[in-house]
């Protein structure tokens, strides 16, 4: 029973109608996302240039809550590498931090573009973060990347000249509990947004990751299912640069879909030694996302070899953009793609996360959970509940 390639009837039996479909549909949605950015290119360019003309320096805040926040965390290292002039400063700050501590994160005198990632656009913190920005910052602008055209955030700002609202593909508004296709489509949107002047140059690369994503679904699902069927109680995801944010998202997916019964954590390849490595034992599975950068990859391979040589450990899995004998030598399972031409890790994040999402889906089923609703008691919800937004008075 391969859920990603099965029909709705099969998926319904295990309560994965939405989750399995939404994982499997992602390569197709990446193509739609590219087309959306191409269609909106002139509107985006005009909006950004109009702001840049007004200000000597602009601050860009990438924001969201939960998985939406991890979109910003994942793409930030890449954006810092390409925004190499002083006119634009890019940061990633979760809405949950902005709303609770606005005085620590919002600068009244620093012209700011807040890029909001919002699956539903109805989360209290998403709305409050924008409202606080408008309240506290003299020159405030917003770009909203949302999967829900009827969400409050989109409805309130779609006619505001200081805001730009861009809708993700319709199917990216995930109906399952865990964000999957909404994560990758918003990630691709913000990535392409920062390459908007040379968008055609990204078409070939996007085509390559689409084919790689399809290959993961078609060729690796059975092996991932077998891994998920093993006995373990803890899972660690490791990665450097953009893969730190990706590891955090991978960690959250497994935690969510298994109802918190699997302990998960994430770290960088170098950071893992500094205490977090204490988690290792025979009940711990470790995934390492290998960088395509030759320098960074050395550190990834170092930790892979170090963990492999530990006598008291569980399975060790490497995920690589290319076939790599060094990686295969020091792991129990090595998944690899044929992406020799992809030299930037941010593009590898798209097929890489499919491994983690699929692993979480099958572990959810193996543990007896309903992936579309792994928290039927309502401890956590698809759109967060129970948040009280308190009025903030400017000091």
Q: What is the pLDDT of residues 372-382, one digit of tens each?
A: 999 876 666 66
Judge if 106 and 64 occupy the same domain: yes
Q: Residue 280 domain-assigned?
A: yes
Please report, for the domain that includes residue 325, its CATH number.
3.40.50.10490
Judge if 285 and 233 occupy the same domain: yes
Q: Are 111 and 53 in contact (CB under 8 A)?
A: no
Judge if 227 and 190 occupy the same domain: no
Report the pLDDT value the prediction gives residue 375, as an integer from 0 to 100.
Answer: 80
109 lies in which domain range? 8-200
Q: Residue 49 domain-assigned?
A: yes
CA dist., res. 174 & res. 226, Å (int): 26
Listed in sequence order, the residues at least 6 apart from 378 whose beta carbon sits closer than 8 Å to its beta carbon are 385
Judge if 188 and 282 occupy the same domain: no
Listed in sequence order, the residues at least 6 apart from 243 whose beta carbon sits closer than 8 Å to its beta carbon are 289, 291, 345, 349, 352
Print the SS3 string covering 295-314. Answer: HHHHHHHHHHHHHHCCCCCC
Q: Residue 392 domain-assigned?
A: no
CA dist., res. 354 & res. 337, Å (int): 12
Judge if 191 and 238 occupy the same domain: no
* pLDDT tens readout for residues 241-259: 999 999 999 999 999 999 9
Judge if 127 and 178 occupy the same domain: yes
Stretch 319-331: mean pLDDT: 96
What's the Rg (C-alpha) of the chain?
21
Judge if 299 and 173 occupy the same domain: no
Q: Residue 205 domain-assigned?
A: no
| Structural domain count, the chain | 2
Q: Residue 380 domain-assigned?
A: no
Q: Residue 62 domain-assigned?
A: yes
Strand order in the sheet with 140-146: 88-92, 58-63, 112-118, 140-146, 163-167
Judge if 328 and 179 occupy the same domain: no
Q: Residue 381 domain-assigned?
A: no
* pLDDT tens readout for residues 176-205: 999 999 999 999 999 999 999 989 999 999
Judge if 185 and 278 occupy the same domain: no
Q: Are 142 and 133 in contact (CB under 8 A)?
A: yes
Of 264, 273, 195, 275, the C-alpha closest to 235 is: 264
DSSP string covering 266-296: EE-TTGGGTTGGGG-STTEEEEEE--SSHHH
- What tokens does 131 get? 């409202």
């Amino acid at each position: 029973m391969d859920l990603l390639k099965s029909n709705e009837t099969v998926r319904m039996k295990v309560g994965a109608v939405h989750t399995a479909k939404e994982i499997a549909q992602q390569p197709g949605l990446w193509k739609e996302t590219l087309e959306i950015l191409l269609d909106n290119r002139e509107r985006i360019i005009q909006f950004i240039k109009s702001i840049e003309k007004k200000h000597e320096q602009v601050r860009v805040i990438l924001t969201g809550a939960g998985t939406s926040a991890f979109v910003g965390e994942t793409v930030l290292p890449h954006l810092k590498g390409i925004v190499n002039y002083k006119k634009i400063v890019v940061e990633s700050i979760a809405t949950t931090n902005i709303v609770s501590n606005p005085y620590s994160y919002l600068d009244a005198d620093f012209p700011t573009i807040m890029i909001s990632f919002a699956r539903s656009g109805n989360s209290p913190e998403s709305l409050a973060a924008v409202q606080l920005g408008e309240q506290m910052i003299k020159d405030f602008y917003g770009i909203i990347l949302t999967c829900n055209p009827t969400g409050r955030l989109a409805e309130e700002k779609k006619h505001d000249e200081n805001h730009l609202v861009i809708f993700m593909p319709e199917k990216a508004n995930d109906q399952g509990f865990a964000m999957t296709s909404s994560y990758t489509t918003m990630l691709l949107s913000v990535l392409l947004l920062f390459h908007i002047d040379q968008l055609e140059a990204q078409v070939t690369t996007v085509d390559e990751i689409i084919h790689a994503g399809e290959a993961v679904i078609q060729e690796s699902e059975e092996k991932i299912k077998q891994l998920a069927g093993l006995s373990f109680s803890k899972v660690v995801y490791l990665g450097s640069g953009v893969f730190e944010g990706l590891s955090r998202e991978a960690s959250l997916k497994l935690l969510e879909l298994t109802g918190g019964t699997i302990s998960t954590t994430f770290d960088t390849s170098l950071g893992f030694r500094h205490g977090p490595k204490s988690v290792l034992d025979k009940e711990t599975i470790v995934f390492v996302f290998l960088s395509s950068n030759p320098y960074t990859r050395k550190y990834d391979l170092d930790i892979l070899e170090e963990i492999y040589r530990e006598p008291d450990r569980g399975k060790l899995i490497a995920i690589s953009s290319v076939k790599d004998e060094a990686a295969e030598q020091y792991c129990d399972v090595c998944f690899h793609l044929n992406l020799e031409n992809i030299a930037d890790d941010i593009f590898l994040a798209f097929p890489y996360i499919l491994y983690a999402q699929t692993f979480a889906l099958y572990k959810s089923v193996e543990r007896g959970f309903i992936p579309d609703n792994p928290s039927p008691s309502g401890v956590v919800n698809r759109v967060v509940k129970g948040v009280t937004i308190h009025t903030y008075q400017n000091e």
